[in-house]
């Protein structure tokens, strides 16, 4: 409920960082007047998904297309990424040893190749649940997790099943050499769910208020991500692990909107063979976030009531926070961390 969406920073997911209050319009006096009519309140902006557009990015032509989610490495050795610039939506999640991985959502456009593809984690199930029964691709998973993934509401197009859609790139070192052909992956998922509303709304124009920002970054002990405003291009340059991200098509990855979402993380009970523990990223619940678009930053609240529901983001007055049209990045940050804002 939008009206119930305002939560104190102490609730749920905790504080996402410095909060700057947006101006909240004051309503006209309720006192009756016989001398002059009271002015009508200004209607709230109407935001939504443009007709025929992707519900993940607002990009035209994305409605009704099947959805593919691919787990992608984002260490320095994984650069440059292949196909990532075509994703509608990119999630960033923490894994073992304070590293992070990407879960990229493709629907509007399928590139020729995607990679490097890496393994699945337990949190992926909750992250992709609002998308429906989509095609989910990865390079594998630990044996303990395989039966759990098999029971999840996804279509397995991993390397173990869609083996002929994968190849090793000889120009990349192992294990960041696993690349996938998305067209072949989708041959294994003819009934994949099509793009559906996951709670995001879009607008060409930003909402009122917001704090000007040059860059915002999140740093883990073994990973970091930054979003730096590019005035000329009108979007944010994505930085990964201390350097500007790169794409095989040239130039950096770019975000129209970036979200730093504060979440609770707990021990999932899973881990790697070297003793690294996999955190469970709790994306169901409520908390705070920072939303970046158009060179500005808004402090917002988020809520997701259950597994099937999408996440909705609200401004301080309870109205939806509209995203800019284009590729969206959502960083799921443990609430014990603080983003750096410049």
- Domain holding 308: CATH number? 3.50.90.10
**pLDDT at 68 exceeding the cut of 60:** yes
Domain match, 256 and 334 both: yes
Range of the domain at 241: 211-263+271-341
Are residues 177 and 251 located together in one domain of the fold? Answer: no
Global pTM? 0.87
Quote the number of domains for the chain.
2
- 156 contact partners, CB below 8 Å, separation of at least 6: 136, 149, 150, 188
Residue 134 and residue 237 share a domain: no
Same domain, 232 and 165: no
Of 106, 110, 163, 108, residue with least CA distance to 134: 106
Q: Is residue 44 part of a domain?
A: no
57 inside domain: no
pLDDT for 6 equals: 33
pLDDT (0 to 100) of residue 3: 36
- Tell me, yes or no, whether 92 and 155 share the same domain: yes
Q: Pick from 341, 310, 337, 318: which is nearest to 13 by CA?
A: 337
Check pLDDT > 50 for residue 2. Answer: no
**Do residue 154 and residue 217 come from a single domain?**
no
* Domain's final residue, options 137, 155, 187: 187
Same structural domain, 140 and 247: no
Asked whether residue 317 falls in the same domain as residue 229, the answer is yes
CB-based contacts of 338, cutoff 8 Å, min separation 6: 17
Q: What is the DSSP string of 117-141?
A: B----THHHHHHGGG-S-EEE-S--
Same domain, 164 and 222: no
In angstroms, rounded to a whole number, what is the distance separating the alpha carbons of residues 74 and 240?
7
Average pLDDT for residues 244-257, to the nearest whole number?
A: 96
Predicted pLDDT at 45: 66
Which residues, including other chains, have CB under 8 Å from residue 185's CB and lie 6 or more apart?
A: 68, 70, 135, 137, 157, 162, 165
Q: Residue 16 to residues 186, 210, 224, 227, 328: CA-CA distances in angstroms?
A: 37, 15, 16, 15, 18
The residue among 187, 220, 252 that closes a domain is 187
Whole-number mean pLDDT of the chain?
Answer: 89
**250 part of a folded domain:** yes
* 180 domain residue, yes or no: yes
Q: Last residue of some domain: 187, 220, 248?
A: 187
- Note if the bond before 238 is cis, omega within 30 degrees: no
Q: Is there a single domain that holds both residue 333 and residue 226? A: yes
**Residues 179 and 253 placed together within one structural domain of the fold:** no
Asked if residue 124 is part of any domain, the answer here is yes
Share of the chain above pLDDT 90, in %: 86
Q: Count CA atoms closer than 13 A to 31's CA, side-chain side.
A: 4
Q: Which residues contact 111 (CB under 8 A, 6 or more apart)?
A: 82, 83, 85, 86, 182
131 and 244 in a single domain? The answer is no
Q: How far apart are CA 301 and CA 262, in angstroms?
A: 10
Q: What is the pLDDT of residues 182-224, one digit of tens each?
A: 999 999 999 999 999 999 999 999 999 999 999 999 999 999 9
Query: Is the pLDDT score of 27 beyond 70?
Result: no
pLDDT tens column, 83-130: 999 999 999 999 999 999 999 999 999 999 999 999 999 999 999 999
Examine residue 25 and state whether it is found in any structural domain, yes or no.
no
Q: With 60 as the cut, is the pLDDT of residue 297 above it?
A: yes
Instruction: Look at residue 94 and tell me if it is in a domain.
Output: yes
157 inside domain: yes
């Amino acid at each position: 409920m939008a009206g119930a969406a305002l939560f104190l920073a102490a609730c749920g997911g905790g504080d996402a960082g410095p909060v700057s209050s947006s101006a909240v319009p004051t309503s006209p006096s309720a006192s009756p007047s016989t001398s002059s009519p009271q002015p009508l309140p200004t209607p709230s902006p109407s935001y939504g998904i443009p007709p025929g557009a992707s519900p993940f990015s607002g990009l035209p032509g994305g409605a009704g297309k099947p959805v593919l989610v691919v787990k992608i490495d984002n260490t320095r050795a994984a650069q440059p990424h292949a196909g990532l610039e075509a994703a509608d939506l990119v999630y960033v999640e923490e894994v073992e040893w304070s590293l992070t991985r990407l879960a990229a959502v493709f629907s509007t456009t399928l590139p020729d190749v995607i990679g490097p593809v890496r393994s699945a984690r337990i949190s992926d199930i909750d992250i992709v649940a609002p998308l429906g029964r989509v095609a989910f691709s990865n390079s594998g998973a630990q044996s303990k997790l395989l039966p759990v993934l098999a029971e999840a509401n996804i279509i397995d197009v991993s390397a173990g099943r869609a083996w002929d859609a994968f190849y090793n790139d000889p120009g990349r070192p192992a294990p960041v050499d696993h690349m996938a052909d998305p067209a072949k992956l989708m041959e294994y998922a003819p009934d994949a769910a099509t793009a559906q509303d996951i709670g995001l709304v879009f607008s060409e124009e930003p909402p009122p208020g917001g704090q000007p920002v040059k860059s915002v970054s999140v740093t883990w002990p073994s990973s970091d991500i930054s979003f730096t405003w590019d005035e000329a291009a009108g979007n944010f340059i994505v930085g990964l692990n201390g350097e500007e991200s790169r794409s095989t098509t040239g130039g950096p990855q770019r975000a129209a909107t970036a979200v730093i979402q504060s979440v609770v993380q707990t021990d999932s009970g899973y881990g790697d063979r070297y003793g690294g523990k996999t955190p469970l990223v709790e994306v169901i619940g409520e908390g705070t976030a920072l939303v970046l678009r158009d060179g500005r930053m808004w402090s917002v609240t988020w809520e997701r009531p259950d597994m099937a529901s999408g996440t909705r983001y609200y401004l301080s007055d309870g109205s939806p926070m509209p995203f800019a049209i284009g590729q969206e990045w959502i960083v799921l940050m443990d609430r014990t961390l603080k983003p750096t804002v410049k």
